Amino acid sequence: MTATLTPESRVGRREWAEWMLDRRWPVATAVVLVLLAAWQTYGVIAGLPEYILTPFEIAGSVTELLASGRLVELSSASLGRLTAGFLLGTTSGVLIGLLSGVSRWFGDIVDGAVGFTYPIPKITLLPILAIWLGFTDSTRILVIAIAVFFPAYINANAATRGVDQELVWVAKNAGAGTLRTVLQVVLPAALPRTVAGIRQSLALSFIFMFATEAIGSSTGADAGLGGEMFAARANGEYDVLWAALATVAVLGGTIDAGFRWLVGRLMRGQELEVTGRG
Amino acid sequence: MLSSNAAPSGATTMEAITDQPQLRLTGVRKTFHRDRKTVEALRDVSFEVPRGQFLSALGPSGCGKSTMLHIIGGFETATSGSVHLDGKPVTAPGRDRGMMFQQATLFPWKTVQANVAWPLLVDGWKRKHARERARELLATVGLSGFEHSYPAELSGGMRQRAALARTLGLAPDILLMDEPFGALDAQTRELMQEELTRIWQESQLTVIFITHDINEAVFLGDRVLVMGARPGRIIADVEIELDRPRGAHTKRDPKLVEYHNEFWDLIRQEAGPQPSGSRDAGETPS
Ligand SMILES: Nc1ncnc2c1ncn2[C@@H]1O[C@H](COP(=O)(O)OP(=O)(O)OP(=O)(O)O)[C@@H](O)[C@H]1O
Ligand SMILES: [Mg+2]
- What CATH number did the domain enclosing A176 receive? 1.10.3720.10
Nearest ligand, CA B62: 1
| Neighbour-count burial of A217, counting CB atoms closer than 10 A to its CB (0-12 exposed, 13-18 middle, 19+ buried) | buried
Q: What is the pLDDT of residue B15?
A: 47
* Mean pLDDT of all residues in B254-266: 90
Contact A206, A248 (CB under 8 A): yes
Chain A positions touching B94 (Cβ under 8 A) are 173, 175
CB contact under 8 A, B150 and A180: no
Asked if A189 lies within 8 A of B107 by C-beta distance, the reply is yes
Question: For the residues B157-173, what does the mean pLDDT come to?
Answer: 93
Substitution site in B37, B65, B213 for ligand 1 pocket (most atoms within 8 Å of beta carbon): B65
Instruction: Tabulate helix, strand, coil % of chain B (nearest 5).
Output: 35, 25, 40
Distance from chain centroid for Cα B225? 13
Q: Cis bond leading into B231, ω under 30°?
A: yes
- DSSP per residue, A24-69: HHHHHHHHHHHHHHHHHHHHHHT---TTS--HHHHHHHHHHHHHHT
Query: What's this model's pTM, rounded to 2 decimal places?
Result: 0.81
Check if B67 has its Cβ closer than 6 Å to any atom of ligand 1: yes
Average of pLDDT values for A161-189?
A: 94
* Position A238, amino acid: Y
Ligand 1 centre distance from Cα of residue A186 (Å): 24
Report in angstroms the alpha-carbon separations of A248 from A76, B20, B26: 12, 75, 69
Contact A169 B111 (CB under 8 A): no
Average pLDDT taken over every residue of chain B: 86
B34 lines ligand 1 (CB under 6 A): yes
* pLDDT band, residue B282 (cuts 50/70/90): very low
pLDDT at residue B2, rounded to an integer:
45
Does residue B193's CB lie within 6 angstroms of at least one atom of ligand 1?
no
* pLDDT over 60 (residue B224): yes
pLDDT of residue B69: 96
The Cα–Cα gap between A216 and A168 comes to 51
Domain boundaries, chain B: 23-96+174-252+267-272, 107-171
Distances (CA, A) of A133 to A127, A136, A137, A221, B68: 10, 7, 9, 20, 62
Tell me whether residue A217 is in a domain: yes
Mean pLDDT of A155-180: 94
SS (H, E, C) A222-265: HHHHHHHHHHHHHHCCHHHHHHHHHHHHHHHHHHHHHHHHHHHH
Instruction: Say yes or no to pLDDT of B40 above 50.
Output: yes
Tell me, in angstroms, the distance from the centre of ligand 1 to residue B232's CA.
10
- Domain assignment present for A272: no
Using 50, 70 and 90 to split pLDDT, how confident is the model at A272? low
Number of domains chain A contains: 1
CA dist., res. A210 & res. A143, Å (int): 11
A16 inside domain? no
Percent of chain A scoring above 90 in pLDDT = 48
Q: What is the pLDDT of residues A155-166, one digit of tens each?
A: 999 999 999 999
| pLDDT in the model for residue B274 | 55
**Residue B200 confidence (pLDDT) above 80:** yes
Instruction: Identify the pLDDT of residue A273.
Output: 58
Do the domain assignments include residue A108? yes
**Higher per-residue confidence, A217 vs A188:** A188
Closest C-alpha residue for ligand 1 atom 17: B66
Cβ contacts of B73 on chain A, cutoff 8 Å = 169, 173
Contacting residues of A for B170, CB less than 8 Å apart: 173-174
Question: Please, which residues bridge with residue B48 across strands?
Answer: B24
CA of B39 from ligand 1 middle (Å) equals 9
pLDDT mean over A126-144:
86
Q: Is residue A212 part of a domain?
A: yes
Range of the domain at A101: 69-266
Determine the pLDDT at residue B11.
44
Range A183-208 average pLDDT: 93
Tell me the pLDDT of chain A averaged across its residues.
86
pLDDT over 60 at B17, yes or no: no
The answer, yes or no, to whether any atom of ligand 1 lies below 6 A from the CB of B75, is: no
pLDDT at residue A9 in the model: 54
Cβ proximity of B156 and B184 under 8 Å: yes
Q: Looking at the domain B23-96+174-252+267-272, which fold is it?
A: Rossmann fold (3.40.50)
pLDDT digits (tens, 9 = 90+) for A241-267: 999 999 999 999 999 999 988 888 887
Instruction: Write the pLDDT tens digit of every residue in B47-87.
Output: 999 999 999 999 988 899 999 999 999 999 999 999 999 99
Say yes or no for a CB contact (<8 Å) between B95 and A180.
Answer: no
pLDDT, residue B108, reads: 92
Ligand 1 mutation target, pool B63, B68, B212, most atoms within 8 A of CB: B63
Residue A35, in any domain of the structure: no
Is the model's pLDDT at A87 over the cut of 80?
yes
- Residues ≥6 apart with Cβ < 8 Å to B204: B2, B3, B51, B52, B173
How would residue A275 be classed by pLDDT, with cut points 50, 70 and 90?
low
How many inter-chain contacts (A to B, CB under 8 Å) are there? 70
Residue A230 located in a structural domain: yes
Question: What mean pLDDT is predicted for residues B6-34?
Answer: 70
Residue A263: what pLDDT? 86
* A16 or A182, higher pLDDT: A182
- For A102, phi and psi rounded to 5 degrees? -85, -40
Question: pLDDT-based confidence at A89, cuts 50/70/90?
Answer: very high
Binary contact (B109, A188; C-beta < 8 A):
yes
Q: Is residue A18 part of a domain?
A: no
pLDDT of residue A278: 37
Rounded mean pLDDT of B201-218? 92
Q: For residue A1, what pLDDT is reported?
A: 40
Residue ID of nearest Cα to ligand 1 atom 24: B61
pLDDT at A214 over 90: no
CA A243 – CA A71 distance, rounded (Å): 9
Distance, in angstroms, between A256 CA and closest chain B CA? 22
- In this model, does residue A150 exceed pLDDT 80? yes
